[in-house]
Structure 1
Amino acid sequence: MILLEIDMGKNKVEKQEIDASGPLEAAITIHKKYETWRLDPLSPEAPIVFGMGPFVGGKLYGVHRLIFVFKSPQTKTLHVSALGGAAYKAMGMGAQAVAIRGRAEKPTAVFIANGQVEFAEIKPSDAYNLIKELYETRRDFFIQNDARALVVGPASWTTYNGAIVSVDIDVKKGEFRLGAEDFAARGGPGTALAQGHNVVAIVVGGPKKPLYEKAADAEAINQLFRQRLGKPYLDVLNEKTVKYRYDPKIGTGGTFGVNYPHYRDLLPLFGYKSIYMPKEERIKHADLVLELFWKPFQVEVFEKAKSWYNCGEPCPVVCKKVWRGKKVDYESFHAAGPFIGNYLLQEAVPVVDEIDKLGLDAIEMGHVIAWLFDAVYTGLLKPEEVGLDDVPAFDPSSFDPVKDSRRNAKLALALVRNFVNNSTDVLALVAKHGIRKAARELERRYADRVRERGVRFRDLAVYAAYGAEGYMTPNFYWAPGLVAPMYVLGRYWTNYNPTFMSPEDFAKTSYERAVAEALVDNAGICRFHRGWAEPVLKELYQLVGARPPAALYREIAYYAKLSGAEPMPWESKRTRDLVSALAKELGSKEWRFEDYDDYYEWWIRFKEALDKLILA
């Protein structure tokens, strides 16, 4: 595949051909070449690599994700983040992947089209304004190349938690396309791009054409699907993506529409404090969430009008559901909603808007807000130490769903802004180091409060630890696999179901899911399309004449070991309780988790089983 290596310090571009099947394999090759396991994640010599899979530009749908691979300032090892739809515009950039190295002298925008690269100084701004400014100042480039911008927001310059933000523009009208906004966010890729390389924006475009001619051969694709799955391609696609488009059995669709009625009382509330509630109490809260948070969305998006869109590539799944002009996904709205003690949908919108404009990872920000809310509520912190003027309502048992939701949403909005502005010493500490390292420092700084309250800062958070300082918070599900000792978390590279089993069986199912997800990312395929893609992925590579990938997950695990960022045993009580409470909920008789040794045994047996599978 063709890769452009861009040295920002020298404004130098090198076009090279490397032996790689997709962006993930290309990134592993580049990181091995420069031995980046030795480097700080924000070193200018630690590249951020992005690219697309081999199936772009043809007759397959959902194959235009842009995949970012980087050494994460959060986990301290390789992380993978994906941005939907952007490869539909990036396919004309003249390479299948790009590696950004070196550090520009001043904040810089990079323009890539048809193998040509340009550089321009640009002033950082909020993400949405920055995209508009790029369009207004380089309108000709956008129109000639049907381009799309990938930008960082203010959070990438002041926190570990910066995302890469992209909103597609109708280049003729200069207007944002409804629903066509997405974020490569988990693990801090925006922070790596901004602080490591002084890059504010990357604008990609160029002539649209398939990388491989066979990807545009509809007859050959249909023949492949008939042989393997007994149906033509579109029939299989429609069957496998029904959840994300519209499921007539439950009368809704998309992650937000489906998850609340499907998971109900198993969805985490109040920073996972809901795991301590009896089932009947959780059901009462789930009913409130459905009535106040889910129903307003359901009525307007499915009953009154079908405001469904795609991510920027032509795709019949139209998974982007828009409520009053705002794209609504489960993860981002749960982060600004029930997870932080806000059950009112309309109150979540300004919080999500602010998170998006500032360029933050919404999932991580939900964890930060919930953790700091809980620390203030329990008395470990004073409100003014995080720039607040009130104490959050963070006890589910005494929660007023209307009054307290409004209070918490107002406080969350202030906290998000204060966090990005580093407004207090505590917030500056968290913004620089993240939850895990900040919790340790706060325990030292406020040791008297920890003794008085009988709880540590770390015990109010849920995260999986990596090495000495790295960590990752889970997606918003009550699922042990999301904190299990896997080498990449924060995505769905694990068994993410609300289930429990022996550590050996859990490791096997998690490893199988991780391998499958890595292959889908390497192919640049949207995971909403995984149902039809995974069974035929090997044959699709053969069809277009590309080489299938090698052992991707093994390479990532080996890199983590070299980086000193292997998974580490659970440090937080609430993380351990997430596992044991679900085991109890599901009636596990073998695992009762009566003391720390039980947790450690389950964790270590899982890790040993996983490592054996990786080496096998």
Structure 2
Amino acid sequence: MKVLRIDLNANSLRTEEIPAQGPITLGIKIHNEAKSWSLDPLDPNVPFIIGMGPFVGGKMPGFHRLIAVFKSPMTRTLHVAALGGAAYKFMGSGIDTIVITGKSKKPIVIFASSDGIELRNIEPVFEYGNYHGAYAFTKYLLDTYRDFFVKYNARAVVVGPAALGTYNGALVSIDVNPLKGEFRPGAEDFAARGGPGTALVMGHNVVGIVAGGTYKARYTKVNDMDFINKIMIESFKKPFRQVMDEKTIKYRFDPSIGTGGTFGVNYPHYRELLPLFGYKSIYLPREVRIQHVEAILRLFWKPFNDEVFVKSKSWYNCGDFGCSVVCKKVWRGKKVDYEPFHAMGPFIGNYIFEEAVPLVDLIDQYGLDAIEMGHVVAWVFDAIEHGLLRPDETGLSDKPAFDPVRFNPDVDSRKNARLAGEVIKGFVEKSSEILKLIAENGVRVAARKLDEIFHDRVLKIGKSFRDLVVYVAYGNEGYMTPNFYWAPGMVAPMYMLGRYWTNYTPTFMGPEDFAKSSLNRAIAEALIDDSGLCRFHRGWAEPVLDRLYIEITGMQPNKDIYKELAEYSIRANTEPKPWEGERARDVVSTMAREVGSKEWSFEDYEDYINWWRRFKETIDSGLGLTPLITA
């Protein structure tokens, strides 16, 4: 692996070959060498790693994700975030992974090409032409450095305004047609979970990376279709393209249900198991949840499906040019995926699709993690609904409609969408003391401080701020909010969450069985990310990934990635800790009731702790760890 090391304190650049199977394996090694577990996540001595796996540039689509490995300002431990498609152009620079330490006195953009590396002092531009935020900065770089983009067929990864002042900054990458000076439709993606943009800017003052060039695939076998087909036929009895099409049908178009992509499939698939209103729906009777999902399908899902799959058929990929999955479904110019739209839709009490579009666009412009902002907005709304906060204290112009029993979707959705926009803007601009507190500290620490500030209200109402938001606690201050699935595995004591490194099926099992299934998934997902693979391709790639490593790279795949990340968390004193709020616990207990568990009734707090403890003990035992924290 060719690694570019950038030391911004010494203003030095050097490249070296380091044996590593992928950016996560390398990132853990470098963080351990730096002993970053003892440092604040935004300390300039904490390395920031971004790179690609070994299978780029070949005829197997999906292996073109950029992977960031960083110490998260949210979890306070190592985190991994992935960004689709960008490695297809980044590989042209000849650099597999960039490692950044130190902090520049002025904002810089790294330009990496097959002809060399250059660091340029560039102030981020967030208003440019008709563009805003990260889109404006990308367009500014494209126009200002057009010769670089054209010569090297380059792509940029940038930050938005959120990374400069909040814990929740993302990395944003929009693929471009450099000759035309235009964005490619749908080819935009975000490495967002855990705050990688914040880590890059606040830790190192790097605001962007632009890369491209003439280098091709590192390994010739990735272009050998006879070799690839041989592996597939021996594993699946079918040639590669046929296997890939069959295994990715959900993300392209499934004729059996007349839709495709994560947004199109998830709503008719999960139906009454969808988490709504900041997870308050888990307390509703099934028949009431069915009424809600019928409104969602009518107002939220059908307009998207009619436009994308009946009228326009606007399907694209992320910039991985060989990929026929075309998972990016574009509604009138806006890329639509389940998680960001659910965050700004049903999860915050907005069932009108058209109202969610500008909210998702605002989040993308700011360079925020949409999942986290869905939790923040729902939390603020629910605190107002319960009387813990007043609208004026958060800078809101009205009280949201956040009682799912009295909710009128045709009327209340529009008000909630308008107020969500006020929360998002107020969060980034820190326009009220409460939103400033959240933006600078994150949900967990902010909840603790709000409980102190509004102590009398908490006692009077009988609800803590922590009871109204779902998160998993790490160490003393770290946390992660879950992806939008009503699934115990999303809040279980796993060492890395916020991704799909767990069993996220909406079901319930005893803690030992659930932990074993979650650990198996986590180990597999870690290897998928380390290879730079888009998980939409996991169906065909996962069964043959070991063989691809051995026969293409000559390396035995590292199956200890998850264990190494867990060991880092133990050193950093950021192990999973028991649930701190009522609703986080009840994601588990309500699912147990939903499936009719007879063994687990969760009648008292000790039941919750017992399930949590046994789950964690099974994970630690499976990894061969000696943990520091028990329930």
TM-score (normalised: structure 2)? 0.97
Deviations 1:522-570 (A, max 9, x none): 0000000000000000111122134133210110000000001000001
Alignment partners' CA distance in 2, 1:205 and 1:573: 49
Alignment partners' CA distance in 1, 2:231 and 2:173: 34
- Which consecutive unaligned segments of at least 5 residues does structure 1 have? none
Deviations 1:408-431 (A, max 9, x none): 000001110000011111111100
Alignment partners' CA distance in 2, 1:54 and 1:378: 51
Corresponding residue SS for 2:298: helix
Deviations 1:50-75 (A, max 9, x none): 11111111111111000001000000
Match of 1:363 in 2: 371
| Match status 1:468 vs 2:476 | yes
Alignment partners' CA distance in 1, 2:308 and 2:73: 37
| Within-5 A mapping of 1:164-563 | 164-314=171-321, 315-550=323-558, 551-563=560-572
Match of 2:624 in 1: 615
Alignment partners' CA distance in 2, 1:546 and 1:12: 32
CA contact (8 A) 1:267 1:476 kept: yes
Alignment partners' CA distance in 2, 1:111 and 1:218: 33
CA contact (8 A) 2:550 2:557 kept: no
Alignment partners' CA distance in 1, 2:405 and 2:215: 56
CA contact (8 A) 1:22 1:549 kept: no
Match of 2:72 in 1: 72
CA contact (8 A) 1:11 1:119 kept: no
Alignment partners' CA distance in 2, 1:548 and 1:517: 17
Moved over 6 A (4+): none
Match of 1:90 in 2: 90
Deviations 1:192-236 (A, max 9, x none): 001000011111111141110111111111011111221111111
Match of 1:606 in 2: 615
Identity across matched positions, percent: 61
Aligned-partner residue type, residue 567 of structure 1: P
CA contact (8 A) 1:25 1:549 kept: no
Aligned-partner residue type, residue 244 of structure 2: L
Match of 1:63 in 2: 63
Alignment partners' CA distance in 2, 1:64 and 1:247: 24
Distance 1:115 1:611, change over 3 A: farther
Match of 1:116 in 2: 116
Aligned-partner residue type, residue 449 of structure 2: E
Corresponding residue SS for 2:93: coil
Deviations 1:75-126 (A, max 9, x none): 0000000000000011112221111111011111111112621111222221
- Which consecutive unaligned segments of at least 5 residues does structure 2 have? 127-132, 626-631
Match of 1:153 in 2: 160
Greater displacement, 408-417 / 120-129: 120-129
CA contact (8 A) 1:222 1:233 kept: yes
Alignment partners' CA distance in 1, 2:399 and 2:259: 36
CA contact (8 A) 1:44 1:102 kept: yes
Aligned-partner residue type, residue 220 of structure 1: F
Aligned-partner residue type, residue 66 of structure 2: L
Task: Give the RMSD, CA atoms, in angstroms.
Answer: 0.9
Alignment partners' CA distance in 2, 1:563 and 1:490: 19
Shift of 1:504: 0.4
Match of 2:17 in 1: 17
Greater displacement, 335-344 / 421-430: 421-430
| Within-5 A mapping of 1:37-48 | 37-48=37-48
Deviations 1:126-181 (A, max 9, x none): 10000000011111110111111100111001110000001001011011101100
CA contact (8 A) 1:109 1:203 kept: yes
Shift of 1:452: 1.4
Corresponding residue SS for 1:396: coil
TM-score (normalised: structure 1)? 0.99
Alignment partners' CA distance in 2, 1:465 and 1:249: 40
Alignment partners' CA distance in 2, 1:520 and 1:325: 30
Alignment partners' CA distance in 1, 2:497 and 2:242: 33
